[in-house]
A and B are shown apart, each in its own frame.
Chain A
Amino acid sequence: MDTAIEVKGLSKHYSGFSLQDISFCLPRGGIMGFIGANGAGKTTTIKALLNLINIDSGEINLLGHMRGEKEVKQKLGVVLDENNAYDNLSFNQAARVESTMRADWDDTLWQYYVKRFQLPARQKVQEYSRGMKMKLFIALALAHKPQLLLLDEPTSGLDPLMREEMLSVFTEFIQDKQHAILLSSHITSDLDKIATHVTFIHEGRLIFSRAKSDIMEDWRLTCCAKAEFDKIPQEFIFAYRNSSFGYEVLVKDSLRLAQILPQLAFNNVSIEEIMLFFVHGQRGYE
């Protein structure tokens, strides 16, 4: 019961796109940053977790239950990329529908988030800006006391102040060690701040899924000339870029590499750099 999300060998084929053999695991108490370029398969994976699509193979467990079970669905807080579900309803009507739908709806908690996110109760939901709708749906997701939050691009459309506020909300949520969050985001700086785990997928394939602390400890960026680059054993190279200034190399297991090639200088690397290196650079793992 310590695992919040367990995905094993998830595959789903469409014509033109396939999600292939995706596996990852998120313990309770963790925040997983789910990253990848547009069309990498992030939303498809989240849809598979939510049983919104049939899968061709694989196994998905959420909070110790099979996906789609009513018992686990009650414990999920979900915010998807498009938040138009209540466009034809007023703010109060939306709250009324949610409170009837959710067994664990907490009206005091709802009012708390309405106030905290400064949601305009008199305005029609349809008239909300994109960011405002996002806040509304995050408030709705939190107000029924979920254990696991599944959030698809939850900070997009929010101004920097509100984004910061949301990150605090997520951090507070995770203070209960039974809770967990899966958060897909393009804004990787958000993940640098709060993620405990990172899963990176590209073109439907899993590139890595690891604890962020491991990545930050092991992975480093180094700049060197061709002669030094040629000395770096292939197993250490995740990806590299070759420019007129020399080689920029993203290396794995940098501590061990530093013992082999002490002349190399290493810099810390951000999640965004890892993504960019992989997508735009030349890949060392192939």
Chain B
Amino acid sequence: MKSLVIKDIFMLQKAFKMILVLVAFYIVIFLLTGASAALPMVMAILAVTFPISTFSYDEANKWDRYALSGPLVREDIVRAKYLLCLLLMAVALIIGFIGLTIMNFFSATVDLSLTEILLIVSISILLGLCGQAIILPIIYKLGAEKGRMFLIAVMMIPILTIILFNRFADPELKQFFSNNLHFFPFILIILVIAGYALSYKISLRIYMGKEF
């Protein structure tokens, strides 16, 4: 299983370099404009899209057929993809946290407390994990290309929810949510753990029935 994660990391090497450029670009933009603190969210979105790229490569290279001809069993393949997703999200968390802290330090317009930074980072990462949990079984069922289409839909869910909530929700309800925002990550954590476990089970079931 370790070999599979290593293989995916090798495949993503070019993309990792791209991230570094992206982060540098983002920081420059931020320093010039003082834009919002969306870096952790950008990182989380990348951590959802990168594994999909590895699926595309695997499909093009007929990797699964090769790996399953070797000493690996189907559980290894699925488990390794989930592990890769978690690893990428951990990297997103680290970059998001450090980046946001640095930007916050240099910014003249934004002054976030450590709690606020942690809140922004944790919500971004947890939403990213939700995204992974939703998209992985879809990719296993439909393949990487169709999965990419669904990804856009999956990403729209939290954005639309927030927009609709802001527009239509009762002001008291809004007040209640903004007063209790710090509880949000804890609810998300429970959702993510349950969702990830369920997602893994569904993906495995789909993959076990596949032929190569």
* Contact present for A73 and B70 (CB under 8 Å): yes
Q: Is A85 an interface residue (CB 8 A)?
A: yes
A93 to B6, CA, bound (A): 9
* Contact present for A47 and B10 (CB under 8 Å): no
A53 to B2, CA, bound (A): 25
* Contact present for A84 and B62 (CB under 8 Å): yes
A47 to B66, CA, bound (A): 11
Q: Which among A52, A84, A85, A89 has the highest number of chain B CB atoms within 10 Å?
A: A85
Residues of the A chain whose Cβ atoms lie less than 8 Å from the Cβ of B10: 88-90, 93, 96-97
Q: Is A101 an interface residue (CB 8 A)?
A: yes
Closest to A72 in B: B71
* Contact present for A52 and B68 (CB under 8 Å): yes
Q: Give the residues from 55 to 102 in chain B that come closer than 8 angstroms, CB to CB, to chain A.
A: 57, 60-63, 65-73
* Contact present for A100 and B3 (CB under 8 Å): yes
Q: Give the residues from 36 to 86 in chain A that come closer than 8 angstroms, CB to CB, to chain B.
A: 47, 50-54, 68, 70, 73-74, 76, 78, 80, 82, 84-86
Q: Is A258 an interface residue (CB 8 A)?
A: no
Q: Is A102 an interface residue (CB 8 A)?
A: yes
Q: Which among B62, B67, B70 has the highest number of chain A CB atoms within 10 Å?
A: B70
Q: Give the residues from 1 to 30 in chain B that come closer than 8 angstroms, CB to CB, to chain A.
A: 2-4, 6-7, 10-11
A76 to B69, CA, bound (A): 8
Residues of the A chain whose Cβ atoms lie less than 8 Å from the Cβ of B4: 101
Residues of the A chain whose Cβ atoms lie less than 8 Å from the Cβ of B60: 84, 87
* Contact present for A102 and B71 (CB under 8 Å): yes
* Contact present for B72 and A80 (CB under 8 Å): no
* Contact present for B69 and A52 (CB under 8 Å): yes
Residues of the A chain whose Cβ atoms lie less than 8 Å from the Cβ of B211: 47, 52-54
* Contact present for A88 and B61 (CB under 8 Å): yes
Q: Is A103 an interface residue (CB 8 A)?
A: yes
Contact with B along A211-230 (1 / 0, CB 8 A): 00000000000000000000
* Contact present for A85 and B61 (CB under 8 Å): yes
Residues of the A chain whose Cβ atoms lie less than 8 Å from the Cβ of B62: 80, 82, 84-85
Return B35 CB to nearest CB of chain A, in Å.
34
A51 to B10, CA, bound (A): 27
A51 to B7, CA, bound (A): 22
Residues of the B chain whose Cβ atoms lie less than 8 Å from the Cβ of A101: 3-4, 67, 70-72
* Contact present for A68 and B71 (CB under 8 Å): no
A residues lining the B interface (CB < 8 Å): 47, 50-54, 68, 70, 73-74, 76, 78, 80, 82, 84-90, 93, 96-98, 100-103, 150
Q: Beyond the given A70-B73, A80-B65, A85-B61, could you list 16 further A-B residue pairs with CB under 8 A, ordered by the A residue number?
A: A50-B69, A53-B211, A53-B212, A54-B209, A70-B71, A84-B62, A85-B63, A88-B10, A88-B11, A89-B7, A93-B7, A93-B10, A97-B10, A98-B3, A101-B71, A103-B71
Q: Which 10 A-B pairs have the closest CB atoms?
A: A101-B3, A85-B66, A100-B3, A78-B69, A52-B212, A53-B211, A93-B10, A84-B61, A73-B71, A97-B7
A-B contact pairs, 8 of them (CB 8 A): A52-B65, A52-B69, A53-B212, A74-B71, A84-B61, A88-B57, A96-B6, A97-B3
